Amino acid sequence: MTSTTSPAQSTAERLRAEYGPALTLGDDCDLANDLQVGIDQGAHLTIGDRVSNRRGSTPQVHRGATVAIGTDVAVGEHAFISVVAGIRIGDGAAVSNMRDLHDHNHRPRTTAHVPSGQLVPWASGFEAAPIVLESGAILSNKVAVTAGVRIGANALVGANAVVSHSIAPDTIATGVPAGVRRRFDGAPAPREDRRTLTVGFFGTSIMEHLEAVNAQMTTQANLPEIGSKVTVEGWHQRGWVHRLALSLRAAWPHVTFNIRNHGEGGATSRDIAGIVEGDRATTGTDYDLVFLGCGINDVWRRFQNRMAEAVDLDEYTRHFNTMLDQLSGYTRRIIVISETPFGPIELPATVADMNTELSRYNEAAAKAAADHDALFLDVWAPFTAAAHHLAPAGGEDDPGSLWSDGVHLTELGDTVLLQQAEQLLAEHRIVEKLLDYSG
């Protein structure tokens, strides 16, 4: 890949002579004399106008890959770029000294990847995903960026950071792995198209959580008089799912969250399996993230003596595995959420029996999740702990009650679920990983 043209030529002339149509080079570029570019067959490198590239830099564009460097970009000394899929650096971005951009990683040396056992570093092959630096992004000295990462417009990555997951626009990120330390009001800069994450919820009324709506009830400047009557104009979905959607949108305002809540009141696993199948058949939606949880009605119907609607544990397990089999084919990440326990809906002894049975269904859901590489969110333990420490339920107006009726949740119960969901998302950095480009 090293040039053999005359040293008397400018760097731009040398590169044009070496690579011809595989290189698109803009005007007024400041390219170091020792810039060593490698462009394999079928690859392409684009360098925009007024790009500065200092000494010791080495861009390598491997077979079939593309690198696109925008206008007014500054690349510091001893910067290394190695590309198998693609890298795009937006206008006005800066890449400081001694930094490393690799859009690929070695695959593990499994028997499937290296069936012959060949002992060479590249025998297992590579997993690759593009890297994007949006306009105005700045990488400080000695920063490493790994495959699949997108760094937002105006973002500033501090020295010595390792960026292994995407960074939001208008933020300062530092550390290993790099994490956002603070946000700022970013200067005007061209913005990439907004990313969209589609999040689905499949479950019972605890996910659906319908509330009656009249516009006047929520208009602070035009609230109805106390004692007056209003007409229910419709239903809105609220509860922990609605609040989680608001939390996601507030935490990642540069991302569009397409929330699809398929919760249905009274649904058993039998019903929800039909909902999952029908959703795929009618909409064909691919999901980035799905929350799946059911079982409380499967158990409750038996204790209500509604035996035709009740679902025993074996049938429940079959439905749950079928849903996970199907969802795994078009969902990037699945979170199975346990059911919340029954509250004071019957005599204490009956409630205890109901919860003993429901816990068996939660155990089956946890096993199904593990078998399908899905996360399992156990809200049972924190929910019962909160119920133990809070005041005994005294009706739906009791601020210490987690349940409005022993099954459906109050705002306090919803908050317990919300906190557990947010904690799981944060611990596993799920949204950050979903914002990365897949390999």
* Residue showing tokens 């890959």: 65
- Same domain? For 261 and 408 the reply is yes
pLDDT score, position 439: 54
- Same domain? For 204 and 324 the reply is yes
**Structure tokens that stand for 401 in this block:** 């009650």
Domain-located, residue 4:
no
- Same domain? For 255 and 168 the reply is no
* Residue showing tokens 């491997």: 62
Domain-located, residue 290:
yes
Cβ pair 92, 74 in contact under 8 A:
no
Q: What is the CATH number of the domain that holds 312?
A: 3.40.50.1110
Domain-located, residue 49:
yes
- Same domain? For 219 and 73 the reply is no
Mean pLDDT by 10 residues, the chain (439 residues): 53 91 94 91 95 90 94 93 94 92 90 88 89 96 94 96 94 94 90 89 94 83 87 88 96 94 97 97 97 97 96 98 98 97 92 96 98 97 89 52 91 95 96 84
- Same domain? For 326 and 259 the reply is yes
Domain-located, residue 3:
no
- Same domain? For 265 and 339 the reply is yes
pLDDT score, position 94: 96
Got the DSSP string for 353-403? HHHHHHHHHHHHHHHHHHHTT-EEE--HHHHHHHHHHSPPP-STT-TT-SB
Number of domains in the chain: 2
- Same domain? For 67 and 99 the reply is yes
3-state helix, strand, coil in the chain (%, to 5): 30, 25, 45
pLDDT score, position 9: 65
The 3-state DSSP class for residue 345 equals coil
- Same domain? For 377 and 298 the reply is yes
- Same domain? For 162 and 201 the reply is no
pLDDT score, position 1: 47
- Same domain? For 127 and 245 the reply is no
Residue 298's identity, in one-letter code, is: D
Q: Of the candidates 118, 149, 183, which is a domain's last residue?
A: 183
Domain that holds residue 279: 195-435
Q: Of the candidates 155, 183, 211, which is a domain's last residue?
A: 183
- In a 10 Å sphere around its CB, with 0-12 CB exposed, 13-18 middle and 19+ buried, how is residue 213 labelled? middle
Helix (H) or strand (E) holding 106: strand 104-106
Domain-located, residue 44:
yes
- Same domain? For 83 and 153 the reply is yes
pLDDT score, position 3: 44
pLDDT score, position 126: 87
Domain-located, residue 1:
no
The pTM of this model reads 0.86
Of 278, 314, 272, 309, which is closest to residue 292 (Cα–Cα)?
Answer: 272
